[in-house]
Chains A and B, each alone.
Chain A
Amino acid sequence: DVKVTQSSRYLVKRTGEKVFLECVQDMDHENMFWYRQDPGLGLRLIYFSYDVKMKEKGDIPEGYSVSREKKERFSLILESASTNQTSMYLCASSSRRSQPQHFGDGTRLSIL
């Protein structure tokens, strides 16, 4: 069965910390995505990657960066966490950008 695995289900960090969210997929997909999900706002794309070391900004990249050193792994980095980054973060992968995406279970991140 295909799988997207996010390293943490729940995470609590402090303001100003550097935070790493990790995502691994086992489907050999070219594309990987990071979304942020907030009530009433749906899914908002932060960054996506279409190949190793390749990335593009999504709709809300400010305050975030990403890293993709290996095809199966895509990391989201909060350089200096702030309280307004408290949210649910979802990772996804797909063979092509317009094709069905496979999602991880999400990381609920709280910044105190």
Chain B
Amino acid sequence: AQSVTQPDIHITVSEGASLELRCNYSYGATPYLFWYVQSPGQGLQLLLKYFSGDTLVQGIKGFEAEFKRSQSSFNLRKPSVHWSDAAEYFCAVGGNNDMRFGAGTRLTVKP
């Protein structure tokens, strides 16, 4: 079965700084990969997804992620963070009729 690791439990960045959230997965075939965001008190919202093709995918709210097969990674990036980006971010891997979520990374944005 597939698995997902998000190495960073909590990250703090200053508003306007760039952001990269790490995600590593384990899966024997080409996975489906997802990033979700959860604002306080809310459910999860899909930010972006990778199924195949171009390894750099664009999502909502100015986020992008890059699939690197050689590193089994799918890191999320944003060039300039806004205070409203403070939330919890979950990476997920789908395949083999299953979906697995990482434990999440909490993002704090400093003024």
Contact = CB atoms under 8 A, between A and B. Distances in A.
B94 A42 contact: no
Given A40-B103, A42-B90, A42-B102, A98 B44 contact: no
B97 interface: yes
Residues of A contacting B: mostly:
loop
Contacts of B94: 97-99
Contacts of A94: 99
B95 A43 contact: no
Given A40-B9, A43-B90, A4 B98 contact: no
B103 A100 contact: no
B45 A98 contact: no
B32 A99 contact: yes
Given A40-B9, A40-B103, A42-B101, A98 B43 contact: no
Interface string A77-96: 00000000000001010101
Interface stretch (A14-22, A61-69, A102-110): A102-110
A12 interface: no
B49 interface: yes
Given A42-B102, A43-B90, A100-B34, A90 B44 contact: yes
Given A42-B103, A96-B97, 19 more contacts: A9-B41, A42-B102, A43-B90, A90-B44, A92-B44, A97-B94, A98-B32, A98-B95, A98-B97, A98-B98, A98-B99, A99-B32, A100-B34, A100-B49, A101-B46, A103-B43, A105-B42, A105-B43, A106-B42
